[in-house]
Structure 1
Amino acid sequence: MRKLKINSKIKLSVLALSIAGMSFSCSDFLDTPPKDIFTDSNFWTSENNVKTFSWLNYDTFLGYGNNAGTTADFYFHNSSNFDDNLAMNVFTTFNTTANATNSNWNSYYTLIRRSNLMLERVPAVNMDEAKKNHYLGVAKFFRAYTYFRLAQEFGDVPYTDAFLQQNDANVYKPALSRTEVINNVIKDLEEASSLMLAVDDKNVTVNKFTAYALLSRVCLYEGTNRKYNLGQPGSEYLQKAKAASLMVMNNASYSLNSDWKSLYNSLELLGNTEVILAKRYLRGVLGNSIQAYTNTSTVQSGLSKFAAESYSTVNGLPIKQIGGNPQYLGDNTITNVFANRDPRFAKAFGNVDYAYSDKPLNGLTSITGYVFQLYNTPAASGTEVTTIGQNQIDAPIFTLSEVYLNYAEACAELGTATNADLNLSLNKVRARAGIAVLTTDGSNASVGGIQINDPQRTSSLEQITGAVSPLIWEIRRERRMEFISWTSLRKADILRWKKGDYLDGAKNPDVLLGARIPSLIGTASKTKVNADGYVIPYTISRTFISPKHYLTAIPTNDISLYLAEGVELKQNPGW
């Protein structure tokens, strides 16, 4: 049944794509289209057609990637999407010159155009009013989600909320400020949440609570980005982040899974109570390659020293707690490294032994020595584990755990966080993970009556752009551990906190180091280590340039295209 439904969905989506394309340019190619071919004028006649058209939008959710592709929200890195948690098996660095084109720019504006078409056509479709409102909300959701990502990546961008013909004079308009874009995003999401159904196809299509989850993410982003990058007040947005988070948190239909790892290694997330929106994969229809890259002889991307040392011990204290942490046993051996640590550490990475070029472990090697195993599941075997394009674990897109941590961070950034707030949100995530819960006096953070004092919080690295309060520091640590392989979320966090220096090898050497393997010191091993025994994955470094690398360059072809129409698209700073 599931296979039949998804195959039908794909076939109908192809049909809808044809309609979408014809609605834009049919008159350029056909004066009188055949009667058995849908056109824009005869497609918008039923709820089923509207639903089919909306399915096209879901391709924008990358999840674990599509089939053999590695463009994804998790684990895989490229020159525009990498973080400080995982060192890629092939060295990546930041672009230094502006590209002529950008695939995100192109695909995002295509999706916006499709959403605007949907908003224009749906009101005239003969269908149930509640479902009509729902699909109007769906279109607003996807338009908002797409403009949000444009503003995150490019800053000021052209904006239109109308479906325009190609020859319309308004196609080429000056860019709108990112503040105005974000405000329009929030307006769309607030309207979408009032229009959309509470449930529609369980958690594999967007609904009212998906809109609230995205609103929570957007407002937290905007509030903190204003504070740390723009030096502006962000309280209005942080209050909205809290309110949107509570709308999800107060829905009794959502609850955390008992096991954190099950979010990332489940063959089926349909109806999962923690997953607000999932991307599903099915053999013969759509696969991914996330397991194949971590369960075959391909050299794995590996955990960085910088990330490994962020895992606290189960008592909730950082490993370098000033005054000492009796649970931390050091890193002379892998047994010591994992002893008494946050259980998510061993669920995400192998704790039996390191694996590197001279010493594979069960055929596996890692660029940093840490073996990635988060996606392993006993429910899959054979080609569903080892073959590129045939992996079938589902991907979480929006989760309750993210909403909990959005709420906690918003409270801390507002300076209003109480123990009740933490117990309502962050401490549920920590309890599920198996580490001590936090208490606070509003600024400081304590566990078991001991005040946390992490020297890393006030290190020279942190002082470059400014240290944060102990409570905010611990909430950021929690986001990092909870979403360890979620590269798109981590990158967004780094940039909105103005912590791009984390990615710079000169300012943060630990981001370009791996596990400590003292036995390799002074040997002829192909795996190089420094004088202290930490793996050196690369022979070159990486530079993060501020403010340049906080935004992506506007594609130069589009700058030229707009200029030819008499409109200036200004390039971002540093490009």
Structure 2
Amino acid sequence: VGWNWGILRKCNILLKNYNKAQILESVKNNYAGEAYFFRAWFYLDKVQNFGDVPYVSKPLDNTSEELFQARDPRKKVMDSVLRDIDMAIAYLPASWSTQGRVNKYVAMALKSRICLYEGTYRKYHNLGDSEKYLNQCVDASTQLMSSGKYSLYKTANTSSDYKTLFVSKDLNTNPEIIFSRAYVQGVLTHNMSGYVASQLAGPTKDFVDDFLCLENDGSAKPIALSGTYSNNTMEAEFNNRDPRLKQIVLDPRDEQVVFKTQVGYPRLQGMQGNASPTGYHLIKYYDYNQMLLSTNQDTDAPLFRFAEVLLNYIEAKAVLGQASAADLDKSINLVRKRSGMPDLTLTPVADPKYAGLGLDPLIVEIRRERRVELCYEQLRYQDLMRWKMGSQLNKQVLGIRFEPSDRANAKFAAVSNSVKTTTVNGKNYIDVLASSELRNRKFSESKNYLFPIPVNVISKNPAIGQNPGW
């Protein structure tokens, strides 16, 4: 994270010295594979944040000339990342005798993620050479999909299967989890349910609106085209929707089941308890029994899921112009079926919400599925960056529908005057940033796809230079 290079140094020290070990070549290679894996992941993060970065493949000391070198072009760096992740796949074992270590399948999942990112970034930012990475994404994803090692977690309970992935104490035997971080009482714990319950942010209307509606004829449509959608009440908005919505965002009617309270939700700013500035309350990762453990919670954290690989695969195929009905059925439609959603076809209805973006409706629906299925898994921001869709961050941030009659309701008597609303198509919604200086934020297309190089870094090495606009 940030301009921190400690992990890289550890990887390079191991890769320089591992052959000195007096052990079997195959065993040495397993350890080298781990170093290649983490060096690839490290540089993915650096390129995502800073673009051009110095590429260093050996341990340095205070006399190394590389300390004062200029940055290397992102293409050169990412080509090195691709070589590293291929080495990781070649060297890592299919499994270890101990749990919690990356294996060759985890490396394939990382390669799938890396190559989708770089391929689409190059395409939408007009950098050229995008197809090489998109094809590599397809290849890595296909290897995982055909390995027989992983499948989507499902028990036919569409109202809970999705959320179970994020509130399980042991993901080691879950067929969908390619890699996770384990938490164990007395060893390593967390407070995730506490963070979720007390968060100072909330899901937005724009996010909630992207959940499709289930129609009476068995199809699924965007809210703008739906015959079953209604937001005339705060509860009605959750009716006839993608079942994942109620597993990610609290349906006010589920308060007692989820939070074991009867105080009345939503809780807005000014009301006692855990208020949400949007009126929507996140419940993905939340478990009441874990909440009681405070900082001693021990649900595992998914890091790579098979669902992501399936969605990487179909996006790469679609961007390449190669997606077939069979491709849909072995990837995105498996994800949709798990949640009780109808299949996607090659010619979906165009959502008016995205009509001005000039995108193929199939691409829109694949992106929608990523936003829904992979939400709050630290992928959305970089998805927007690689799609060159930073302008989406300029949107007005809205919350729940909140009419004057709602404010007059005794239930909301304590709502702060700072909670402002704005009118959209004759309906009033919470205007989340109405009183904030962030209301006037502006994503700069020439600047904000990359972060600035820290000033203290440039002062030590002027050759590093600064990113455009900073």
Output the TM-score relative to the length of structure 1.
0.73
Which of 344, 362, 367 is 1:471 aligned to?
A: 362
Unaligned runs of 5+ in 1: 1-102, 446-451
Which of 218, 221, 224 is 1:320 aligned to?
A: 224
Asked whether the equivalents of residues 203 and 277 of structure 1 are also in contact (C-alpha less than 8 Å), the reply is no
| SS state at 1:398 partner | strand
Shift of 1:433: 1.3
| SS state at 2:147 partner | coil
Structure 2 residue 250 is the aligned partner of structure 1 residue 350 = yes
Asked whether the equivalents of residues 267 and 379 of structure 1 are also in contact (C-alpha less than 8 Å), the reply is no
Q: Which stretch of the first structure deviates more once superposed, 311-320 or 215-224?
A: 311-320
Shift of 1:345: 0.4
User: What does 1:515-530 correspond to in 2, within 5 Å?
Assistant: 515-518=400-403, 519-520=405-406, 525-526=415-416, 527-530=419-422
Corresponding position of 2:57:
161
Q: Distance in 1 between matches of 2:431 and 2:361?
A: 31
User: What does 1:415-564 correspond to in 2, within 5 Å?
Assistant: 415-440=321-346, 444-445=347-348, 452-459=349-356, 462=357, 467-486=358-377, 488-504=378-394, 508-509=395-396, 512-518=397-403, 519-520=405-406, 525-526=415-416, 527-531=419-423, 532-538=427-433, 539-540=435-436, 541=439, 542-563=441-462
Q: Distance in 2 between matches of 1:416 and 1:220?
A: 15
Asked whether the equivalents of residues 333 and 517 of structure 1 are also in contact (C-alpha less than 8 Å), the reply is no
Distance 1:214 1:203, change over 3 A: farther
Asked whether the equivalents of residues 225 and 497 of structure 1 are also in contact (C-alpha less than 8 Å), the reply is yes
Shift of 1:338: 0.5
Which of 318, 341, 350 is 1:412 aligned to?
A: 318
Note the alpha carbon deviations across 1:241-274, whole angstroms, 9 max, x for none: 0000011111212111111112211122123211
Q: Distance in 1 between matches of 2:104 and 2:359?
A: 34
Q: Distance in 2 between matches of 1:134 and 1:300?
A: 43
Q: Give 2:66's aligned amino acid.
A: N
Distance 1:381 1:227, change over 3 A: closer
Q: Distance in 2 between matches of 1:415 and 1:439?
A: 15
Distance 1:571 1:522, change over 3 A: farther
Distance 1:543 1:136, change over 3 A: same
Note the alpha carbon deviations across 1:64-120, whole angstroms, 9 max, x for none: xxxxxxxxxxxxxxxxxxxxxxxxxxxxxxxxxxxxxxx6212xx111111010011
Q: Distance in 2 between matches of 1:180 and 1:201?
A: 36
* Count, aligned residues: 434
Q: Give 1:121's aligned amino acid.
A: N
Asked whether the equivalents of residues 70 and 465 of structure 2 are also in contact (C-alpha less than 8 Å), the reply is no
Corresponding position of 1:284:
186
Q: Distance in 2 between matches of 1:143 and 1:127?
A: 23
Which of 295, 298, 302 is 1:396 aligned to?
A: 302
Q: Give 1:529's aligned amino acid.
A: T
Q: Distance in 2 between matches of 1:320 and 1:521?
A: 26
Q: Distance in 2 between matches of 1:332 and 1:354?
A: 15
Asked whether the equivalents of residues 193 and 290 of structure 2 are also in contact (C-alpha less than 8 Å), the reply is no
Q: Distance in 1 between matches of 2:129 and 2:54?
A: 25
Unaligned runs of 5+ in 2: 155-160, 254-264
User: What does 1:55-66 correspond to in 2, within 5 Å?
Assistant: none
Note the alpha carbon deviations across 1:397-436, whole angstroms, 9 max, x for none: 1110000000010010000100100111111100011111
Q: Give 2:406's aligned amino acid.
A: L
Corresponding position of 2:15:
119
| SS state at 1:302 partner | coil
Q: Distance in 1 between matches of 2:379 and 2:99?
A: 20
Shift of 1:559: 1.3
Shift of 1:521: 5.4
Q: Distance in 2 between matches of 1:381 and 1:555?
A: 38
Asked whether the equivalents of residues 521 and 533 of structure 1 are also in contact (C-alpha less than 8 Å), the reply is no
Shift of 1:371: 1.7
Q: Give 1:272's aligned amino acid.
A: N
User: What does 1:187-336 correspond to in 2, within 5 Å?
Assistant: 187-200=83-96, 204-258=100-154, 259-295=161-197, 298=198, 300-314=200-214, 315-321=219-225, 325-328=226-229, 330-336=230-236
Distance 1:136 1:420, change over 3 A: same
Distance 1:562 1:156, change over 3 A: same
Q: Which stretch of the first structure deviates more once superposed, 404-413 or 192-201?
A: 192-201
Corresponding position of 1:369:
279
Corresponding position of 2:258:
none
Note the alpha carbon deviations across 1:121-141, whole angstroms, 9 max, x for none: 111112232221111111111
Output the TM-score relative to the length of structure 2.
0.88
Asked whether the equivalents of residues 52 and 74 of structure 2 are also in contact (C-alpha less than 8 Å), the reply is yes
Corresponding position of 2:262:
none
RMSD, matched Cα? 1.8
Asked whether the equivalents of residues 398 and 430 of structure 2 are also in contact (C-alpha less than 8 Å), the reply is yes
Q: Give 2:305's aligned amino acid.
A: T
User: What does 1:87-126 correspond to in 2, within 5 Å?
Assistant: 104-106=2-4, 109-126=5-22
Note the alpha carbon deviations across 1:260-302, whole angstroms, 9 max, x for none: 112211122123211111011223322223211233xx35421
| SS state at 2:400 partner | coil
Asked whether the equivalents of residues 304 and 368 of structure 1 are also in contact (C-alpha less than 8 Å), the reply is yes
Distance 1:201 1:221, change over 3 A: farther
